[in-house]
């Protein structure tokens, strides 16, 4: 009887210890992971998608040239297109592919728009950017694939499984933000769109430096092929775009390769650098960082133009009038306006808008 009691006691102790260990480690991990609520916000973008109602007509997938250059609010209001941007900083093409694959497990949009700038990268680049894309993804086959495809030599898969191992040294850098956003984070985007209202004109944009090789890499093509296949399998139209960012430089040789690829695979491809006048962009007023990204004015012009393309060329229907969507977008519009007002106030006060 005594022995039985002692065994029971040991089992309870072990169980309790395991629970305490797991809870403490989980809480520590939550505390130490960057929250991306100020300064660099890009790390908080990917996870916002999961809170969305998954009924989009268009999903934009790509890097900052998408999430800063087109306004989904305008797409909705002017064309009744329900869109979302799954964008992250320096999103590499394999990350785009896996984000697309993951998206298709949630929903099947009519169109996926992919920005082709990331074709220039054939190898994993920087851990910091990998983290901003991968940490926010929910665990799935796609996340595992994306991690394996993205890791640089210094990285380790285990650090993604247990981010505490990656961020353990942040204990000395913790700020109030880490405690404030311990459980919940605020939204930093508007359906994936990262807004900036300030202006920094593009002056003296340099030509691109001469490259030793202009050929896109095999790995980049491999994932672009996979994207084409995946879209075909899921009956989703893939549209390729090159956003109207002046920097990084988009070479003619790159353009030729993309045009050939689009032609060969019967894909729509729009290079907005060649449509700047049609869009009505003015790089004296429509960029906040001298031509790298568009500001709110530029992003709205882009949405105004591209919405028509999507509606006319891709045949997307105007969904205005759908009650649920109207309600959801009304809320989004309010948040959008509030952010515009906040940034304009900050600007007026001479403070940074971020």
Partner 1 sequence: MLFTSYEFILFLLIVFILYYVVPKKLQWPLLLVASYVFYFFSGPENLLYILFTTVSTYLIVGRIQKSKDIQEAYLKEHKKEMSREERKAYKEVGKKKQWKWLLLVLILNIGMLAVIKYTNFTIHNINGVLELFGSDQQLSFLDIALPMGISFYVFQTMGYAIDVYRGKYRAENNPFKLALFVSFFPQLIQGPISRFDDLAKSLYEPHRFDSRTVAFGLQRILWGFFKKLVIADRLLVAVNTIIGDTETYRGAWVFVGMMFYALELYADFTGGIDITIGVAEALGIKVTENFIRPYFSKNIKEYWNRWHITMGSWFTDYIFYPISVCQPMLKLSRFSRKHLGEKVGKRITVWLSCFVVWFATGIWHGASWNFIVWGLANCFVILVSQELEPLYRKFHSRFHVDGTFGWRLFSVARTVLLMSCLRTFDCYRDVPLTFRMFGTMFTDFNWGELFNGSLMGLGMTLADYGVVIVGFFLLLGVSLAQRKGSVRERIAARPYPLRFVIWFGLFLLVILWGTYGIGYDASQFIYNQF
CA distances from residue 275 to 29, 241, 245 in whole angstroms, order as listed: 46, 11, 11
154 part of the interface to partner 1, by CB under 8 A: yes
Query: How many residues make contact with partner 1 (CB under 8 A)?
Result: 20
When binding is defined by CB under 8 A, the residue of 48, 77, 101, 159 that contacts partner 1 is: 159
CB of 343 to partner 1, least distance (A): 33
Q: Does 6 bind partner 1 (CB under 8 A)?
A: no
Residue 256, Cβ neighbours under 10 Å: how many?
11
Backbone phi and psi for residue 234, each to the nearest 5 degrees, phi listed first: -100, 10
Give dist(CA 189, CA 88) in Å, integer: 11
Q: How far is the CB of 45 from partner 1 (least distance, A)?
A: 21
Residue 19 touching partner 1 (CB under 8 A): no
Q: How many residues does the chain have?
A: 354
Check binding of 18 to partner 1 (CB under 8 A): no
Cα 256 to chain center, whole Å? 26
Q: Residues with Cβ < 8 Å from 216, sequence gap 6 or more?
A: 119, 120, 122, 254, 257
DSSP 8-state secondary structure symbol assigned to residue 321 = T
Per CB under 8 A, the list member of 11, 19, 20, 341 interacting with partner 1 is 20
Sheet holding 58-62, edge to edge: 83-87, 58-62, 111-115, 237-242, 268-271
By CB under 8 A, tell whether 24 contacts partner 1. Answer: yes
Q: Which stretch binds partner 1 (CB under 8 A): 83-91, 100-108, 148-156, 241-249?
A: 148-156
Work out how close the CB of 165 gets to partner 1 at its nearest, in angstroms, rounded to a whole number. Answer: 6
> Which region, judged by CB under 8 A, interacts with partner 1, from 51-59, 140-148, 163-171, 202-210?
163-171
Which stretches of the chain bind partner 1, using CB under 8 A? 13, 17, 20-21, 24-25, 28, 127, 154-156, 158-159, 164-166, 168-169, 171-172
């Amino acid at each position: 009887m005594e022995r039985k009691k002692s065994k029971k006691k040991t089992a309870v102790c072990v169980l309790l210890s395991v629970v305490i260990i797991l809870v403490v480690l989980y809480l520590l991990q939550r505390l130490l992971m960057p929250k991306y609520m100020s300064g660099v916000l890009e790390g908080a973008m990917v996870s916002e998608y999961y809170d969305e109602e998954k009924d989009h007509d268009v999903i934009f997938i790509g890097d900052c040239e998408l999430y800063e250059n087109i306004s989904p609010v305008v797409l909705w209001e002017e064309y009744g297109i329900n869109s979302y941007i799954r964008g992250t900083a320096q999103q590499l093409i394999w990350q785009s592919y896996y984000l697309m694959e993951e998206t298709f497990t949630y929903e099947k949009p009519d169109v996926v728009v992919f920005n082709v700038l990331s074709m220039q990268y054939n190898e994993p680049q920087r851990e910091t950017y990998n983290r901003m894309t991968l940490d926010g993804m929910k665990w799935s086959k796609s996340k595992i694939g994306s991690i394996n495809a993205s890791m640089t030599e210094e990285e380790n898969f285990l650090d993604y499984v247990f981010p505490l191992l990656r961020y353990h040294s942040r204990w000395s850098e913790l700020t109030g933000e880490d405690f404030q956003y311990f459980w919940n984070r605020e939204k930093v985007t508007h359906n994936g769109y990262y807004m900036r209202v300030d202006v920094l004109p593009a002056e003296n944009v340099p030509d691109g430096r001469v490259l030793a090789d202009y050929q896109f890499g095999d790995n980049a093509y491999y994932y672009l092929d996979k994207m084409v296949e995946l879209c075909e399998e899921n009956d989703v139209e893939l549209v390729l775009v090159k956003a109207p960012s002046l920097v990084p430089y988009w070479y003619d040789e790159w353009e030729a390769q993309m045009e050939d690829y689009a032609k060969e695979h019967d894909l729509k491809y729009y290079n907005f650098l060649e449509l700047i006048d049609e869009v009505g962009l003015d790089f004296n007023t429509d960029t906040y960082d001298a031509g790298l990204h568009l500001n709110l004015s530029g992003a709205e012009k882009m949405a105004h133009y591209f919405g028509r393309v999507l509606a006319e060329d891709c045949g997307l229907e105007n969904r205005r009038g759908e009650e649920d969507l109207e309600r959801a977008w009304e809320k989004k519009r309010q948040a959008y306006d509030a952010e515009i007002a906040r940034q304009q106030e900050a600007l007026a006060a001479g403070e940074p808008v971020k």
